Structure 1
Amino acid sequence: MANINVYQYRVPGQPEINLRGLQPRYGTRPAIERIGHIPLLDTVLELDERLLNADGFTVPEYLTYRIHLKRSHGYAGRTAPDGPLADARLQVMAGDYDARLTMREFDPASGVTSCLRIVDANQRAGGDLWVRLDDEPELARFPDLAPTAALVINGRRLTDPDEVDMRR
């Protein structure tokens, strides 16, 4: 797949960059201009086009964080909707994991919700756990975390598009 230049952006007349916690939002220059915002040309990032949505903006999963959970049972997450423990609520055990911000539909009546997908955190059956950000107040502004949070971020990187299952 092709690499595309993307940029952070701002609303005309406002100096702040469009941030989601500390995870900046990027878009292609035409996409940003189409919504009346200004691309910040000194923030250029070369990104695989598979990490962009149909509108030309980054999907939440474009960054992967390396996290360390200080203690077990700090957070509970949902398993995949299919598989041996379909949509079970399990505790995340202490350890080191990759994690990505994402969106997932837990209940059709409430629609999609923001969550943190913790890769390979399902100790019972393997696979990932999705922690709803609205269930965990200290994660609401992830990756901006309080020092008392049950996890710490040890780094971040651009996600390899092959790591992301865009169907979930």
Structure 2
Amino acid sequence: SSAVQQFASQLSGKSFDAILINAGISGPAHQKVSQSDDQALAQLFLTNAIAPVRSAEILLPLLKQEGVLALTSSQLGSLNENPEAQMPIYSASKAALNMLSRTLTPAVEAQSGTLLTLHPGWVKTDMGGESAPLTAEESAAGIVQQLIQWRGRGGHHYVDYAGQQLQW
């Protein structure tokens, strides 16, 4: 978080219509809690849940009134949208992000802002793999569209890159 604080200091005096916090690692390939060491699990949860919320808290003062604060989560972090519990360790870390992101709601609403928890889609990246249906460019374009469309609406919403509302 000290790096984020330094970054925020460098941006002092500036303000933004939208702030997107994007962080994620998939964790161990086996995705089994019983086979994962404590350090790997701690790193997964720190990267996917704790660090994004800490970053958002630090950067929130830079958000303009009626701006959008967005955190990249995953549909796999939903208990309702992931009934087969695919990638359970990764999913648990993103479910933790979904819960922790709710703690940001009062501060975002105090600025008349909107809080988005975003699913970028299944994207062709190192993490998503080659069989993913979306390119990074398609996902990014959709995310930008959501940042624009949700500006000034208020509240906390869980949506995907195409604007579909997801169940927590």
TM-score (norm 1): 0.25
* The structure with more strand, counted as a fraction of residues: 1
Q: Who wins on radius of gyration, i.e. which is larger? A: 1
More helix by share: 2
